[in-house]
Structure 1
Amino acid sequence: MNSKFLGTGVALVTPFKSDLTIDHDALANIVNFNIENGVEYLVVCGTTAESVTITKQEKQDIIETISKTANGRVPLVLGIGGNNTALVIEEIKSTDLSNIDAILSVSPYYSKPTQEGVYQHFKAVSEASPVDIILYNVPGRTSKNMEVATTLRLANDFKNIIAVKEAGNNVSQYLELIKNKPEDFLIISGDDDLALGIVLAGGAGVISVIGQGFPKEFSEMIRLGLKGEVRESYKLHFRLMDVIGYIFEENNPAGIKAVFETLGLCRDSVRLPLVPASNPLKEKIKSFINKF
């Protein structure tokens, strides 16, 4: 069992200054805030990091800031995925992965490949990658579900495919994966609202968005869940439940950036086509944090 990815990973945001350049000081503060409050690992340049509007050079700079700040204290997972298999492979081969423990690779989006196409894509990614791979199934964004049979086929066929971040918001799909997975393969929740229930059913933890705003409480909730302490873990779940809904109400990461702005960790700026959270939503978030 790859224990370094048990528990809570957080999909870090990319903080921007008012001119929309990257705010590396704020990024370093967010990394420290999360490590000091107990998250188990960090996910760099995932969807929440607005990776589609980040340049190649910016991505390298982000990796550098996070690696330097984390300084080996927690494992790092790097988002490298896409719907052009050749380009994904090229990026894997041309990226310095010496500080990276695994890559998180999203199922090909927009092109709508068949299940065989998804399998062949990840087979090629697996053969190219010198580090472990966490598959990422997010049908709400890719418009194509990676079916249980495909995930399990990949899990059984490739040693370096060690986990799936499942974010289909589909409990029965999660349970089928947990029931039928190879023993050391990890089922990681990508749905903050379902994460605790999935952990209690045998999941390995979560790659969370809200976790980076409330790292202490969220990572403790998941640890309690992994120990099977149902009542205690649900107490924390119920405390966080409203804000989990709020941050996804308009778009991600505008919601979590509104949390960070209230906490004084970074501005709420996002790059187009995303826009910041609306004032009514910001007020709800502010009032939640003040009471929390």
Structure 2
Amino acid sequence: MQSLMGTGVALVTPFKKDFSVDTEALTRIVNFVIEGGVEYLVVLGTTAETATLTSDEKELVIQTIKDANKGRVPLVLGVGSNNTAQVVEELKTRDFSGFTAILSVSPYYNKPTQEGIYQHFKAVAEASPLPIIVYNVPGRTASNILPSTVIRLAKDFKNIIGIKEAAGDIVQAMKLIQNKPEGFLVISGDDMITLPMVLAGGAGVISVIGEGFPKEFSEMVRLGLNKRVDEAYKLHYKLADSIDMIFEQGNPAGIKEVFMHLGISENTVRLPLVNVDENLSERLQKFIKNLN
């Protein structure tokens, strides 16, 4: 899974002002991030507002990204639910041609125990035709996957090849890196602590800010992987304020505002999300102007 080292980006789903999927803008975004140097793309993650997409819209997004990518970089598909049987059914019936791996979020809302989380991913691993990246994001799921559970899954199922670790806890991330089996990928899911995680032995990031500033962010990660610490931190601090800003009023409202200022897509989001306020929009515009 060396192809999933470095920077992956969680693609947004751009909408037109009438809230329909903007396939032309999505094609522009795919080209923008690949030309910016990212290593792979994550399709239908949280940042894609997947929870608000119909089945037909999901298929449209998948096909648009595959057509735009033209096989240039690996694609990872988000397949997750708080209904284990539903995930298993999708894994058994979906066409995964063109995809390298699956990103599967820990069950949200149900608040399972560690044993429940283990049994969920056991069922997912046994059903999946592709390698799996587990996604731990306690801020959205209301439960944390403990390092001991992750290591247990990694050792028991060879097709569980990594974790997107988004607990925002560098100590927890370091415990994962310390105790993981050889070859298991510990991927940052938190843009602000990506560099320290990479320097500690992490495999890279699945990023949101890397979508808006792919050239700078992917270069920072490559420098970190090559242990060029001072150069990497120079880029980290260059981007740090923008990372805070894009999450200040919710994801993907912040990153969509960046794309609007870059002239790549509209800033439209679907309810229950709303656009960022005028103050934040102006600050993001100023940041982009100064960066360039």
1:279 aligns with 2:278: yes
Please give the per-residue CA displacement for 1:67-103, whole angstroms capped at 9, x wherever unaligned: 1110110000000001000011111222110111101
- SS of equivalent to 1:248: helix
The corresponding residue for 1:3 is 2
Amino acid at match of 2:36: N
1:88 aligns with 2:95: no
RMSD of aligned Cα (Å)? 0.5
Give, in whole Å, the separation in 2 of the partners of 1:203 and 1:234: 16
Give, in whole Å, the separation in 1 of the partners of 2:192 and 2:141: 20
Structure 1 length-normalised TM: 0.99
- SS of equivalent to 1:193: helix
- SS of equivalent to 1:165: strand
The corresponding residue for 2:161 is 162
- SS of equivalent to 1:57: helix
Please give the per-residue CA displacement for 1:148-206, whole angstroms capped at 9, x wherever unaligned: 11100000000110000000000110000000000110000000000001000000000
1:184 aligns with 2:183: yes
- The offset of 1:135, in angstroms, is 0.2
Give, in whole Å, the separation in 2 of the partners of 1:91 and 1:171: 33
For these two proteins, the number of residue pairs brought into alignment is 291
Give, in whole Å, the separation in 2 of the partners of 1:121 and 1:220: 36
- SS of equivalent to 2:234: helix
The corresponding residue for 2:250 is 251
Give, in whole Å, the separation in 1 of the partners of 2:248 and 2:21: 25
Give, in whole Å, the separation in 2 of the partners of 1:132 and 1:60: 21
Give, in whole Å, the separation in 2 of the partners of 1:197 and 1:30: 28
Trace 1:1-292 onto structure 2 (pairs within 5 A): 2-292=1-291
Structure 1 stretches lacking a partner, 5+ long: none
Give, in whole Å, the separation in 1 of the partners of 2:249 and 2:32: 25
Give, in whole Å, the separation in 1 of the partners of 2:157 and 2:68: 32
Consecutive aligned runs of 4 or more in structure 1 exceeding 2 Å deviation = none
Structure 2 stretches lacking a partner, 5+ long: none
Give, in whole Å, the separation in 2 of the partners of 1:53 and 1:92: 20
Give, in whole Å, the separation in 1 of the partners of 2:286 and 2:92: 46
Give, in whole Å, the separation in 2 of the partners of 1:117 and 1:291: 48
Structure 2 length-normalised TM: 0.99
